[in-house]
Amino acid sequence: MTLHTAGYAEYRLYIGSVNMSTKEQFTKRELVDAVARLQKEWEAARGYTHTVRVSECDYVCGDYEESGWELSVINYPRRRHDLPLIEQFCVELQSRLMAEFRQHRITVMADIPGSRIAFMAESEDAATK
């Protein structure tokens, strides 16, 4: 048996399920396909990619409810990478998903050694929503 170790890091992206242009819900399959397309491009350009876990969740704010997903990218011990490379992948994933699914915002939570941070990308028209 071989034991693999890596420094702890987890990035979580939070995305709703409603395309803000069409007002229609997109499916988990569509989301997974979008993630897989980026992973293939990333692998072709860099020789590696990052594993992404997709979990269903619900968002509740007062009377508003929306289904969505939490996407998690970790420093997977079998394929460990420097934290800036993982963050770069997450920022690209955030950007791609915002564009493809016409999201007003996607939040990324980073749990990395020494700090926990959150950053949010917001579309130009999100302030009015």
The overall average pLDDT reported for the chain is 86
CA-CA distances (angstroms) from residue 39 to 32, 72, 92?
Answer: 10, 14, 11
38: helix, coil or strand?
A: helix
Helix (H) or strand (E) holding 11: strand 10-16
pLDDT tens sequence across 35-51: 999 999 999 999 988 99
Residue 27 has pLDDT above 80, yes or no: yes
Q: Please tell me the distance from the alpha carbon of residue 95 to that of residue 81, in angstroms, as a whole number.
A: 21
Residue 127 has what pLDDT?
53
The mean-pLDDT minimum among 8-12, 73-77, 124-128 falls in: 124-128
The confidence band for 100, taking pLDDT boundaries of 50, 70 and 90, is very high
Q: Please check whether the domain covering 10-128 is classified as CATH 3.30.70.
A: yes
For residue 101, pLDDT over 90 is answered with yes
Over residues 116-125, mean pLDDT: 68
Which residues have a Cβ under 8 Å from the Cβ of 103 and sit 6 or more positions away?
A: 15, 16, 20, 97, 123
5-30: average pLDDT: 89
Confidence class for position 113, pLDDT limits 50, 70, 90: confident
